[in-house]
Amino acid sequence: MRVDVSTENDVCTVVPHGRIDSATSVDFDDAIRKALEQSKNIVIDFAETEYISSSGLRVLLFANKELGHTGSLTVIRPNSNILEVFDMTGFTDLLEIDRGIGIDGKDIKVLFFDVDGTLLSHKTGHVPESTKQAIAEARKRGVKVVIATGRDIVELEKLPVTHEIEFDGFLTLNGNICLDQNKHMFAGNPIDSGEVEILVQIFEASRIPFVLINDHERYINFVDDVVIKTQEETHGTIPEIGTYQGEAIYQCLSFVDDGIRQKLEELLDHCSITSWNETGIDILAKTGGKAAGIQKFLDEEGLSRSQVMAFGDGENDLSMIKFAGIGVAMGNATDKLKVAADYVTTSVDEDGIAHALTHFGVIG
């Protein structure tokens, strides 16, 4: 694994990239030993680290013991997965851990926004004026702005958001189709073809309302009152009824209660499911999700996750909020998302995006 080590003002900062486990902990250990030779004040920045296992924890124990009372060991910016490990193992009591230290909005180079409940108000169906102004100011400062949504591009273009704000990219279908600013696809992540056979069988059986989405259209098997009500609540449109023609499928939607959702989760081995409404779910490849789409965009642009700030409010935003250097939950977000976020701002209707961008210094 790659581990960066740098020293400034008698503080040595160690930045591991990727997973710290049995296969990579030797590299982490080597970097920590190098840092200990340079300084008695060590900062370990986990902004680029996905996970740490027991092998990595032993390295932290070694560093903490070596420094003793003569130095300091500070851990900054661990993601929620790493924090869970620290909490379960008691490392939160052993180490000085601060998720906020070192977070500087001036380092942010790209903003990712969910749409419904984040950019777009559920109450008004419009983008708040403060949001439009804040995003315009961020772009003037050279910060890229990208949509990350569960919607497809056809559905997205029917909303006011794409006509009122200029974007540098579009991660649609929960990051499974990635489009540049001209809406040309540069990356995609279709559902496993074997799993698609089962999904098509569900679609054709017509026991539940089911939508198949390919790279250019979406179509439903039938429409009932639940579909109509759900789409009205989310300012969505109802797809045309269609038939499967053998194309690659990038996402499915279904309009079901929690009981049916749980049965689908048990049934589908190679898919994951997230909710965007009490009766609306997205079905996508397990290798997909908004975080995976963001990584593809970063690869295209030559940026790192520490330069990412992401905004969301729902379950399908969880992966990108955890992934981002700064993950922001809207005031109207789910409790689970608020726990995972670095910062909880006010709601979409209370200028939440403008408040957060100002709070972190992305705009002034």
CATH of the domain at 231: 3.30.1240.10
Q: What is the pTM of this model?
A: 0.72
Same domain membership, residue 55 and residue 22: yes
Q: What is the mean pLDDT of the chain?
A: 92
Can you give the CATH number for the domain in which 34 is found?
A: 3.30.750.24
Section 317-327 average pLDDT: 90
Same domain membership, residue 311 and residue 261: no
Q: Return the SS3 of 348.
A: helix
**What is each CA distance from 350 to 24, 135, 311, 345, 355, in whole angstroms?**
45, 15, 15, 9, 9
8 A C-beta contact, residue 356 and residue 343: yes
8 A C-beta contact, residue 16 and residue 47: no
pLDDT bracket for residue 149 (50, 70, 90): very high
Section 128-148 average pLDDT: 97
H or E element at residue 186: strand 185-188
User: What domain range includes position 151?
Assistant: 105-189+289-359
8 A C-beta contact, residue 168 and residue 146: yes
Cβ neighbours of 355 (radius 10 Å): 18
**Number of domain units in the chain:** 3
Residues making up the chain, counted from first to last: 364
Q: Give the β-pairing of 169-172 and 210-213.
A: unpaired
The answer to whether position 56 is within a domain reads yes
Residue in the block written with tokens 């499928």:
249
Same domain membership, residue 314 and residue 200: no
Among 98, 127, 150, identify where a domain stops: 98
pLDDT at 305 over 90: no
pLDDT bracket for residue 8 (50, 70, 90): confident
pLDDT at 235 over 90: no
- The structure tokens listed for 149 are 């949504």
What pLDDT is recorded for position 100?
Answer: 55
Rg, the chain, Cα only: 22
- The structure tokens listed for 338 are 């608020």
pLDDT bracket for residue 225 (50, 70, 90): very high
Give Cα 77 to chain centroid, integer Å. Answer: 16
**Full strand arrangement of the beta sheet holding 11-16:** 3-8, 11-16, 41-45, 72-76, 96-98
The answer to whether position 295 is within a domain reads yes
8 A C-beta contact, residue 332 and residue 311: no
